[in-house]
Structure 1
Amino acid sequence: MLTKKNTTLNAEHPVLPNDLFVSCPLALEEVEAHLFVMALGCLTNYSQRLTFQLTFGDVLPDMNADDQLVRLDKAQKRLVQPLKYEGLRLGKRFSHRIPLFTEMSIDQDTGLVTGVFNDYLRQFLSDLAAGYAPTQLESLLMRR
């Protein structure tokens, strides 16, 4: 489970902390971080739906299709888990879970990874993409 602890929020509906991904110990594996960053790169400020489409080769070049499928399947399982952050609100503990993606598919027949980011995260994802170079963001997501 991807987790952040000790976030204090007082809003009726929790607001995402500005540094959720940066300060959250995501500890993504290399393939997971690369897939996330490449998917994020497919978004534009004008996207009505936060969709992405990548080929297996975009994410894992120089690897056979069977190995690509195994590694992408593992990455998919982890990336579709919701982020979890916890904290105190008016002296009471709370936890909040929010998925990064509303859906993600891998299809060996077409060689495509497709998905939709959670629209609730639209502004946050846009800020994240604008604030970091892809290699820098990958590095931050993989830090331990």
Structure 2
Amino acid sequence: MTTALHLADTNDFAKLDPLVEAFHAEMQIPSDAETRAKGILPLLQGSPYGAAYILGPRLAPVGYVVVTFGWSVEFGGMDAFVDEVYIRPAVRGRGMATEALIGLAKALENVDVCALHLEVDRNDDKARKLYLRSGFQARERYMLMTRRLR
């Protein structure tokens, strides 16, 4: 199986937004159309801070991945963070998310990204197993902390 990763652009917003809305509903993330548009559209317009990829057939995507970029002294250069990854429930369990994350890591490595990070619910065994299969490792000494600014 080959799960196609397509770099999304503004033409993909109408396909991407319902997937993001479904992910947010499933994960109980507060979400509204205006906030999603503010978060998605700059990525589709070429923001240097991140990118959105649709997964599967471009005309009927089965999911998406959003990655954002930063800088790490510890890792010696640019790093990236998987902000969101989602596969439609009807097609889960077929290895698409694993394949997409491995493909994304290879693509980012080819453009000199030194590390790829993500956040996972400590109690979500299924997601943790997916991320382990995709090459991610827990950093037991570290915990993601957030200070909301707005």
Using the size of structure 2 for normalisation, the TM-score is 0.27
The structure showing larger relative contact order (alpha-carbon pairs under 8 Å, at least 6 residues apart) is 1
Q: Max radius of gyration: which structure?
A: 1
Using the size of structure 1 for normalisation, the TM-score is 0.28
